[in-house]
Amino acid sequence: MAARGDTYENPVTGQRLTFLATTADTGGAALEVETAYRPGGARPPLHFHPSQQEDFEVLEGAVEAVVDGERRTLQAGDVLTVPAGTPHAMWCEAAPARLRWRTAPALETEAFFETIWGLAAAGRMTSRGVLRLSQMALTGPEFKDEFRLAKPAWLTQMAIFTMLGPVARLQGLSARHAPPPAAAAPRVD
């Protein structure tokens, strides 16, 4: 599991993730990270977290967000709370951005981040920063309490994952993946 100060870089999206407070640090109450986006990086799919709230504070730059169908531009100093079950996506278009990101409760979000960043480092993500369908067939159900795609409907996703899961296992894939090697944390002066 991640330790406070560990930093992962996603070679596909360019997003950097530094752990500020891990699941162990908070007794599972929350996971807190700092994330850095590069401009023009991949836009994540519209998704939601069934029982977790996310709080974002823009520390530097600006990000675009879609929250429950409404597009917003958030700039340094802005704070955004995304309630559990709310479809959303966030990305950076014009200049680098840095955010503080808190997920509560933590659940298995730390393992989810390690898996996603690890899969990206292993080349198991499309150039758009999305898991290939065969990988999603295993990773989606594994982290269903932490992350769900907003479309198609969850029952449809589960039907697809159930059909593709055995094929993915035959291909040697697994639901979880080792985290990428930790990068040097950015200097804070």
Three-class secondary structure of residue 126 per DSSP: coil
pLDDT value for 41: 79
pLDDT value for 174: 96
Amino acid making up residue 183: A
**Strands annotated E in 105-166:** 148-149
pLDDT value for 188: 44
pLDDT value for 185: 52
CA distance 69 to 168: 33
Sequential pLDDT tens for the chain (189 residues):
899 999 999 998 889 999 999 999 999 999 999 999 998 878 889 999 999 999 999 999 999 999 999 999 999 999 999 999 999 999 999 889 999 999 999 999 999 999 999 999 998 899 888 899 999 999 999 999 999 999 999 999 999 999 999 999 999 999 999 998 877 555 444
What per-residue string of b and e applies to 59-88 under the rule 16 or more CB within 10 Å gives b? eebbbbbbbeeeeeebeeeeebebeeebbb
Please state the pTM of the whole predicted model: 0.92
38, 15 Cβ separation under 8 angstroms: yes
SS3 for 18-60, per residue? EEEECHHHHCCCCEEEEEEECCCCCCCCCEECCCCEEEEEEEE
Span between the terminal Cα atoms of the chain, in Å: 27
CA distance 181 to 55: 27
**Strands annotated E in 94-164:** 97-104, 148-149
Sign of the alpha-carbon dihedral angle for 13, 16, 20, 24 = positive
pLDDT value for 186: 52
